[in-house]
Structure 1
Amino acid sequence: MKLSRALAMVSLRIPAPRSAAQALARCHTVDDLRRLAARRLPRSVMDYIDGGADAEQSLADNTAAFARYRFTPSVLADVSAPDTGTTILGRPAAAPLGFAPTGYTRMISPDGEPAVARAAAAAGLPYALSTMATASLEELAAGPAADRWFQLYVWKDRAKTFELVRRAADAGYRVLELAVDTAVPGNRLRDVRNGFTIPPRLTAGSLLDIGAKPGYWTRLLRAPDLEFANLADSPDGPGYTIENIGAQFDPAVTWSELAALRAAWPGRLLLKGPVGPSDAVRARDLGVDGVHLSNHGGRQLDRTVAPADLIAPVRQAAGADFAIVVDSGIRHGADIAAALALGADLAMVGRPYLWALAAAGEPGVARLAELLTGQFRRTMALLGVASVAELRRRGPQLLAGAGGPVLPADLLPVLP
């Protein structure tokens, strides 16, 4: 009798394949989105997203740096309605979260940068377009109103550099980020070993990739040609590949040229790279509005200090009115909370939204924004803070490293 009841409870129906929406609904963390992306992308493309430079020490250190910090919550506080809203460089945002610039996004999904920008606009978050994007400045500007930023690489051809600056201003971009960590391309060994090229070339390895993920290649072939869209109108633009375009960046750029860029750009200006305290002060004194602390997600110089560990010393050196943006290693809303407690104004993600885009297109990126914002809101409540301003103000009291307090006691008065 008991056996017959047990058998009656067993369903032998073969479950129907999950739809994309169902698969996305089962993603509750950034890692879940990454796993879904890995099922849909060829290995070489996944390695392009995941890989770092040389031994990938910085890649590992970036996430580990955030994981080292520990919270010391404040209890018996009214956190019935924690407010994630904040102001970033003079503009309101729904949360201290943004989408960092990434190159060649339409290779990840034909939806590309416009899908990321739409998701960011819908979530009330800033999005930075890369010079190396597969959507042009003007194409993105034609989409929904959003807080659009532009990451600039300085070219040996200065006329091309300042033409990009003019185009960004004319298209209504609000923030310009000058990348200062790309004097030469990083040595990304996964791409080298995979024979990975942009645009993709058919090799024995890529043919195996096609066989493993035919759906990806079908979508790619049906989409518009991949190109560096912001350079497509240049006479030599169509000839650029990932192998030769790095040679166009100018390794001779110095501080003396920053004044000309500051004069040419009417909006907010940030330096983006692994900027230490002394360089941050120098940039501030030259009229730069802030820094974007980043080691390119570990894709440029290996063994650089994790950006998380630069936040507090840069804040202490540069003062309260200097903007600090940070990326590289953020995988959870608790990482965003730690970044703000250390003194940052905004945390940005790159790889996570590429995984989300590969997993489910624009809805995937929207899901990522929902997940990270929700995690951040919950962390705020459990920390006993009701607003972003309170989190930043009380950060030194709420955060410690694995070995004890990590912030100097005199940092507290510096924060607004």
Structure 2
Amino acid sequence: MDIFHWAYDLFRELDFKKTTALYANLAVNLLVIIIATFVIDFIARKIVLWATAVAARRSKTQFDDFLVQNKTPQYIAHLIPLYVVYQTVPVILTDFSRWEYLFHKGITAFIILLTLWIIRSVFNSLRDYLKLLPDYNDKPIDSYIQVVMIMLWIFAITAIILALFDTSFTALISTFGAISAIIILIFKDTILGFVASIQVTVNDIVRIGDWITIEKYGADGDVIEINLATVKVRNFDMTTTTIPTYSLISDSFKNWRGMQESGGRRVKRHILIKANSVRFITDDEIDDLKKIQLIANYLDQRRSDINTFNEKNSIDKSLPLNGRNMTNLGIFRKYINSYIEHYPGVNKDMTIMCRHLQPTDKGIPIEIYLFTSDKRWLNYEYIMADIFDHIIASVKYFDLEIFELPSANSFVE
């Protein structure tokens, strides 16, 4: 086109040699196109961003808002100046066939990359949008998008190689096959993460928001992100632990989701009673213990049953060891059981138990096993502490002692 030769004519009139005038003309034209490209790109971005922003404000869905946040319109706007460059540069390179060939290769590669970038921004917008939906906000969407993007990058790189080197697709596949072992080694973690993500989702092993505990990695908190290579856990001390995704299927861990979805949170804790404080209870002591309202009826019924048995079998009660008897520890266990059954913060529809464990060198463990109806951490700790405060304070009323290791003051006379 003559419009792109005005500089050439000018330089020839100024007595420049033909070759020099051609290169000078090319330089001027390239400078003009560069400036025009920046101007067109600026105007295109302003128009596209304005139109998208208006559409996003009027739309009821938030998906277009995420498109704006992830710069999708901005990347699309770059296509307009790119098209101008694609149409004009070959014309000004008519006299430079070698450069035109190189330009064609370069602009093709750039178009592929820009297209990939637009697709990436759309997928990121889709990810952000799906995380707002209740049916998808706990799914490892990042993993799926990363897998798709890896595949797209592979296709993009393949397309760029084919375009730059004029290589046939069959020859390229043969080359990839020859180096497949190296590729598998490089992408080992990615492949393992992809397989793990599928298994985690299909088997519903972990969701975003689940409280998990993995002692091997020191993770104890809520899952905040699941992607192709890693899982991020925000611990309760506000630190973040990053663990490999495939460790969710290769290692053992604890998921507390079952507890959170159940009717209560378990309390399983014991106190140690000194073995030498356990003894039989006399009738007079039983009468005193009947002042404890929670076990008054139990003591009457229990004493009646024992007396009936002993009389029926002519038991000699001059020695307390003979026949059936009540112990202070047995009555204490019954009291604990009655107390936690009446405690308002305990779920009455789940297991409630006070049990006697195997005696140890530190005493007799009396374990309290129950489920609090309130599963929130702070309230759970409060309920558990309140129950054990009462139990520890009530031990002395049954003439029992709690075991504790002696301190320096224990040996002071």
Q: Which TM-score band (shorter chain)?
A: under 0.3
Larger RCO, structures 1/2 (Cα 8 Å, 6+ apart): 1
**Higher helix fraction: Structure 1 or Structure 2?**
2
TM-score (norm 2): 0.22
> Radius of gyration: which is bigger?
2
